Amino acid sequence: MGFNIGLVADYRIMELLNLRFEPGLVSTQRNLVFYDRSRFTQDSDTLRNVKSTYIYLPLLLKISTQRLNNIRPYLLGGVATSINLSSNEKNPDDNLNQVFRTKTNTFYYELGVGVDFYFNFFKFSPSIRGVFAISDELVPDKAIDSPWTGNISGLRSRGVFLNFTFH
């Protein structure tokens, strides 16, 4: 769970095609649970809460239909990058010291569907979007056989988001 607050810069390429830049600040927490308890000495070691704050920078193409009364459905897709401000990538501590490390920069692709609702003084655009990491986010522990990262070949975020845009 988390939240995103940001801005929308929209450039109309053609009547039904827009280029959008939607920078935002994202705060989220992921819980990693390790079910094989045989490799851990304490039960508290089987859970890692990974709190993250990102600067999220998506560049999207928005393809709209013709407006029908005050409604206009659309599809969007594009690429994004993020800067994880709480990644701990350069931190010398690792999971032995309760620090789960991820990379600072990650790349994604994003797909979504939404509807523009036109009102007298503003436009409301709810959308459902899928965001999928392309690059690996995991920074492995120093010990090759670490019970936290030794068995993980890669860590890639995936998420489904409900966005509400007012413009």
**What confidence category does residue 140 fall into, taking pLDDT thresholds of 50, 70 and 90?**
confident
* pTM, to two decimals: 0.84
Query: How does DSSP assign 82-100, residue by residue?
Result: EEETT--TT-S--GGGT--
pLDDT-based confidence at residue 146 (cuts at 50, 70, 90)? confident
Residue 127 confidence (pLDDT) above 90: yes
pLDDT at 79 over 90: yes
- Answer whether 79's CB lies under 8 Å from 107's CB: yes
**Per-residue pLDDT at 61 exceeds 90:** yes
Which has more confidence, 147 or 157? 157
Ramachandran angles phi, psi of 145, nearest 5°: -95, 25
Give the separation between CA 118 and CA 71, rounded to whole angstroms.
6
Neighbours of 59 (CB within 10 A): 15
In angstroms, the Cα distances linking 25 to 20, 97, 106, 112, 156 are 16, 28, 15, 19, 19
Paired sense of beta strands 47-64 and 105-118, if any: unpaired
pLDDT at 56: 95
Q: Is the pLDDT of residue 130 over 80?
A: yes
Of 126, 117, 15, 20, which is closest to residue 66 (Cα–Cα)? 15
